Structure 1
């Protein structure tokens, strides 16, 4: 039987001591609530359904996400760590003061809807600022994995993961931005005219190979084989290493980059930056230069990652099969590959004409 005692502060404390179970204590404002809780808890113990909820009731979401970032996020790659720290901020702003036990599927759904509608953030004129569906998807993924870790590893007594019971925002259609002939001429002319030749090599290599910017700028000498005309990528976004074949143009570009006469002694990076305060050289950071370059070329809305879209689409247009393109680009599924492949309608018209000829 449970013991119900009145405390000096006027509240009621229920204490359950049952063989085979940890001593369970909870305090209530009313004696009736203490009796009800004790009866339900003892019944759960008898039926083998008892879960020690106290840890999850005491732990706030803010403390939980701090533990997650320290124990789980810290084991991931630097870029992933940066993204998760950024996504944790709006989650803390909304759920921070709630205990983990108090976060329900309904509450998570409200968070999703407010983020998508922009109710939680207004611009200077008071107009809502909606978040992109994929942004909210990634935030919910972080929240969901925190609950998964809390249930499976932390032993907090949570009975379920509330994120599993809500609808996720549908993924966006993906960008379809490609370069037209005039834009390509202006953009490449602008990068060719930049004072640092590394920008020229990086941009043109991206067009020729479809590699991501992070994959290009972190390349080291040992990864490039000009004889076999391949680049071996060890760390990629999807964690799967791959070997990228090089066109003749890409091979020439890498040969020029490897022969860069201003490369400092002892630097293995092909595309290197200036030493930081710690005297360590890191990959060439060309973000600001790229923004200025594309603005001067009249294509401000063109992102560097769109060069990957352009390259993959050109590989498809050249007649390579989906499997061959995926082997080069590193896409794990044909569905993801199709999101990155955007064929020009005018080119398809020309092919249709050939079929009838």
Structure 2
């Protein structure tokens, strides 16, 4: 049986000591609340489903996120670490004062619906993917809290709520006229590295971070490959180079203005600490897009363009994923309509074995 003790401040403390279970206690404003809690807790012990929730009741989401960002996020890619810091700020501002024990599935579902109904600064609704990332971070935090931090929780509340659909993927393609204008503009820029980077993106399907972070030793011109030791999904991969991409890399590696000792393929000006970092081309890229009227075209769309061309060239899904770094074939589904169009053309060119003519009856 539980022991009920009235404290000097007038509250009631319930203490449960049961053989085979850790001692548990909790303080309540009224005696009845203390009795109800003690009864429920002892019943859970009898049924073998008891969980000591004191740690999850004391730990707020704000504190849990701080610990997550300090211990877990640094083990991920720098870009992911940075984005998780931004996502954590949103979660903290909305749910930070709740304890982990108080964050029920219903509460999180209400948060999801409210976020989806909100408008961004640009006047558009918060995207499904933004909310999916917020829920994914929250879900992983609960998983870590349960498995590694040993926080007393019955389960991960996010396992019981519906996640927003990812929505259709981007399928923005460059028209011949747009490509001609874009190539002319980036090649005319005072820094030739801008044109080289754009050309490599559309030839190799590499991500902007993968290109800008390249070191000279990763580019093997003799074997016409680039070896990426780290990528967005964490896997290393080898990217084959077309002859055109090889020629561009040769120009980049032989860049006459490369500083002595700098092994970045695409390098920027030294910072205040004297160190050189990758060439930051985003600002000038955005300016050129605006001047050309391509405001709806992102640098990442060059990757989509490159993969589309690989598919149109007849490569299999396995071959395309080996080049692009897609971990799941599901991610390549958006390109299947391109292969379908190509198959129609190839069927028309297929050698005819018979001269069967269909005539109406």
Q: Normalising TM by the smaller chain, what interval?
A: over 0.9
Partner SS, residue 13 of structure 1: strand
Q: Which residue matches 2:226?
A: 231
- TM superposition shift of 1:277: 1.8
Q: Which residue matches 2:157?
A: 162
Give, in whole Å, the separation in 2 of the partners of 1:213 and 1:280.
21
Length-normalised TM-score, structure 1:
0.93
How well do the aligned residues superpose, as a CA RMSD in angstroms?
A: 2.1
Q: Are 1:15 and 2:15 counterparts?
A: yes
Given that 1:272 and 1:282 are in contact with CA atoms closer than 8 Å, whether structure 2 keeps it comes out as: yes
Match of 2:280 among 280, 285, 302: 285
Q: Which residue matches 1:107?
A: 107
Give, in whole Å, the separation in 2 of the partners of 1:353 and 1:89.
56
Greater mean alpha carbon deviation, residues 180-189 or residues 313-322: 313-322
Partner SS, residue 209 of structure 2: helix
Q: Which residue matches 2:67?
A: 67
Given that 2:228 and 2:239 are in contact with CA atoms closer than 8 Å, whether structure 1 keeps it comes out as: yes
Q: Counterparts of 1:1-357 in structure 2 under 5 Å?
A: 1-118=1-118, 129-339=124-334, 343=338, 354=349
Partner SS, residue 343 of structure 1: helix
Structure 1: runs of 5 or more not aligned: none
Partner SS, residue 69 of structure 1: helix
Greater mean alpha carbon deviation, residues 347-356 or residues 321-330: 347-356
Give, in whole Å, the separation in 1 of the partners of 2:219 and 2:63.
45
Structure 2: runs of 5 or more not aligned: 353-361
Given that 1:313 and 1:342 are in contact with CA atoms closer than 8 Å, whether structure 2 keeps it comes out as: no
Given that 1:207 and 1:310 are in contact with CA atoms closer than 8 Å, whether structure 2 keeps it comes out as: yes
Length-normalised TM-score, structure 2:
0.92
Give, in whole Å, the separation in 1 of the partners of 2:339 and 2:189.
30
Give, in whole Å, the separation in 1 of the partners of 2:290 and 2:345.
32
Given that 2:311 and 2:339 are in contact with CA atoms closer than 8 Å, whether structure 1 keeps it comes out as: no
- TM superposition shift of 1:344: 9.5
Greater mean alpha carbon deviation, residues 282-291 or residues 12-21: 12-21
